[in-house]
């Protein structure tokens, strides 16, 4: 008996990146991508980059702009291809050489690892998929030299604490700092306003409704490497608006995977990892632009170190929101809640990281309750610290980091005289976990002051981050 994946691949053998197009409309750059799954399924997603002076595009030139937009379309492919996992991905929209084909195949395999695992898909199967370009004669393009504003820094803002820390620290260097946000949430808009980004770059990405319809009909669905899409988008913005630096806020913690599947480590955060960052940086220099410096500013440090830094910026406490449940729509069938759910691994991890550094009442106000009192979260706690199951598929810290965050939280609660028996999770930690680990005090001090040299920070950026971490 054939499985769903086998039936879909047989029925829909080809995914085709047909074309892309763009136009200026009311000072916005509107970009369209045309995808087709044969037979009979067509997609036309749309991206709008707001407030663009057409003269900027003319200065860049058609060849360079077309190449950048073509690549953004390639980054869009996983979101649509995953519906059928067609054996052939045919690229008609632009040229790819052998090195590029291998790069994109690697991104799909690594970036969709969670999707393959959750859908029980054997991505290791010989000829699982091929990327077939119609034109393989890629001509390398060189950008014109950047103007006198080349020291500008572009910072992506989602809605969580990490980009806040990046923005606040980078304000201390004498450079022009600006934000960009893709489909900005209310939280992202508040952060941008508080950070005094007066002319943020706003981008609207519109998913083709046909994809949502397919999801509801039972076609394949799951996690895609969103940060890889953001990376290609950020380079387009940097070139159009003349920014030399793109400072993402991915951290050291994102390098840890979740589970091994078919002899490969599956990492929910692959496109936030240093492995992806290195590969993208090299690809960008060779095939997009030599003039833009792409890096993750927080790469040398852990999430718990970022939480400590974030605790110094109380003006953002009521605005930041990184709970993924807050924005889920279940393929368009429900309205997002736009608040911390207090029941997911992300909420528990962020709460536990912040607890040692922020006043209890203030923290409870942010989350709507004291999460340590919630017995229902005990199972999630065990997953976070590696006591049961697998590390949750969320953007969270390492298992060791979670363990140390619970230790520091337990230590703080004791120090300020809280009755641990009234905090179910910390009570469990005290009775069942603490005795298993004899060196948590030294390990927590080491982690809070740690620094990872595997990063791409330019020297002046490295210097300022080291100063605030030490």
Question: How far is 120 from 26, CA to CA, in rounded Å?
Answer: 46
Q: What is the pLDDT of residues 401-434, one digit of tens each?
A: 999 999 999 999 999 999 999 999 999 999 999 9
User: CA 154, 245, 296, 183: dihedral to nearest 10 degrees?
Assistant: 30
Question: How far is 392 from 386, CA to CA, in rounded Å?
Answer: 10
Show me where the domains of the chain are located.
Answer: 4-296, 303-448
From the centroid of its chain, how far is CA 266?
15
What's the pLDDT at 335? 79
CB 166 within 8 A of CB 178: no
Tell me the average pLDDT of the chain.
Answer: 94
Question: How far is 159 from 192, CA to CA, in rounded Å?
Answer: 9
Question: How far is 396 from 398, CA to CA, in rounded Å?
Answer: 7
Report the percentage of the chain scoring pLDDT > 90. 88
SS3 letters across the chain: CCCHHHHHHHHCCEEEEEEEEEEEECCEEEEEEEEEEECCEEECCEEEECCCCHHHHHHHCHHHHHHHHHHHHHHHHHHHHCCCCCCEEEECCCCCCHHHHHHHHHHHHHHCHHHHHHCCCCCCCCCCCEEEECCCCCCCCCCCCCCCCCCCEEEECCCCHHHHHHHHHHCCCCCCEEEEEECCCHHHHHHHHHCCCCCCEEEEEECCHHHHHHHHCCCCCCCCCHHHHHHHHHHHHHHHHCCCEEEECCCHHHHCCCEEECCEEECCCHHHCHHHHHHHHHHHHHHCCCCCEEEECCCCCCHHHHHHHHCCCHHHCCCCCCCHHHHCCCCCCCCCCCCCCCCCHHHHHHHHHHCCCCCHHHHHHHHCCCHHHCHHHHHHHHHHCCCCCCCCCCCCCCHHHHHHHHHHHHHHHHHCCCCHHHCHHHHHHHHHHHHHCCCHHHHHHHHHCCCCCCCCCCHHHHHHHHHHHC
CB crowding 144-175: b at 16 or more within 10 Å, else e: eebeeeeebbbbbbbbbbbbbbbbbbbeeeeb
pTM: 0.95
What's the pLDDT at 192? 97
What's the pLDDT at 1? 45
Name the fold adopted by 4-296: Rossmann fold (3.40.50)
**Token pair of 63 as six digits:** 């060849």
Along the 470 residues of the chain, how does pLDDT read in single tens digits?
A: 468 999 999 999 999 999 999 999 999 999 999 999 999 999 999 999 999 988 889 888 899 999 999 999 999 999 999 999 999 999 999 999 999 999 999 999 999 999 999 999 999 998 999 999 997 765 655 554 455 557 899 999 999 999 999 999 999 888 899 999 999 999 999 999 999 999 999 999 999 999 999 999 999 999 999 999 999 999 999 999 999 999 999 999 999 999 999 999 999 999 999 999 999 999 999 999 998 999 999 999 999 999 999 999 999 999 999 998 888 766 566 677 889 999 999 999 999 999 999 999 999 999 999 999 999 999 999 999 999 999 999 999 999 999 999 999 999 999 999 999 999 999 999 999 999 998 999 999 999 999 999 999 999 999 999 999 98
CB crowding 299-332: b at 16 or more within 10 Å, else e: bbbbbbbbbbbbbebeebbebbbbbebbbeeeee
Sole residue written with tokens 């990184």:
322
What's the pLDDT at 417? 95
What's the pLDDT at 325? 87
CB 80 within 8 A of CB 35: yes
What's the pLDDT at 297? 98
161-170 and 303-310 helices, crossing angle to 10°: 60
């Amino acid at each position: 008996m054939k499985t769903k994946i086998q039936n879909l691949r047989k029925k829909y053998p080809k995914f085709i990146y047909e074309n892309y197009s763009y136009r200026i409309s009311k000072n916005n750059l509107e970009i369209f991508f045309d995808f087709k799954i044969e037979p009979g399924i067509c997609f036309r997603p749309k991206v709008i980059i707001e407030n663009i002076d057409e003269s900027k595009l003319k200065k860049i030139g058609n060849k360079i702009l077309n190449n950048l937009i073509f690549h953004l379309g390639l980054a869009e492919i996983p979101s649509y291809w995953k519906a059928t996992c067609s054996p052939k991905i045919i690229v008609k929209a632009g040229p790819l050489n052998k090195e590029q084909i291998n790069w994109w195949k690697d991104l799909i395999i690594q970036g969709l690892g969670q999707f393959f695992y959750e859908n029980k898909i054997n991505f290791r199967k010989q000829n699982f998929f091929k990327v077939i370009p119609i034109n393989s004669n890629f001509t390398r393009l060189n950008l014109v030299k950047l103007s006198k504003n080349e020291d500008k820094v572009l910072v992506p803002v989602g809605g969580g604490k990490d980009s806040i820390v990046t923005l606040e620290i980078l304000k201390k260097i004498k450079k022009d700092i600006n934000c960009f946000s893709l489909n900005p949430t209310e939280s992202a808009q508040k952060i941008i306003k508080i950070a005094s980004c007066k002319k943020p770059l706003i981008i609207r990405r519109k998913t083709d409704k046909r994809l949502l319809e397919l999801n509801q009909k039972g076609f394949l669905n799951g996690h895609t490497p969103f940060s890889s899409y953001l990376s290609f988008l950020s380079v387009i913005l940097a070139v159009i608006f003349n920014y030399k630096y793109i400072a993402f806020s991915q951290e050291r913690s994102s390098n840890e995977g979740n589970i091994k599947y078919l002899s490969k480590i599956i990492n929910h955060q692959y496109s936030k990892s240093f492995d992806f960052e290195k590969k993208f940086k090299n690809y960008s220099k060779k095939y997009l632009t030599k003039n833009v410096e792409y890096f993750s500013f927080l790469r040398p440090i852990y999430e718990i170190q970022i939480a400590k830094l974030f605790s110094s910026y109380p003006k953002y406490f009521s605005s930041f929101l990184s709970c993924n449940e807050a924005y889920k729509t279940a393929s368009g069938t429900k309205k997002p809640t736009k608040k911390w759910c207090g029941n997911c691994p992300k909420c528990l991890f962020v709460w536990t990281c912040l607890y040692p550094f922020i006043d209890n009442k203030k923290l409870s106000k942010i989350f709507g309750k004291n999460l340590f009192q919630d017995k229902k979260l005990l199972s999630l706690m065990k997953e976070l610290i590696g006591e049961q199951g697998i590390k949750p598929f969320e953007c969270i810290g390492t298992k060791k980091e979670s363990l140390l965050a619970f230790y520091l939280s337990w230590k703080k609660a004791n120090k300020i005289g809280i009755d641990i028996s009234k905090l179910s999770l910390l009570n469990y930690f005290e009775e069942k976990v603490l005795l298993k680990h004899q060196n948590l005090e030294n390990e927590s001090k080491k982690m809070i002051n740690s620094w990872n040299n595997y990063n791409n920070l330019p020297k002046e950026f490295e210097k300022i981050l080291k100063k605030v971490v030490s």
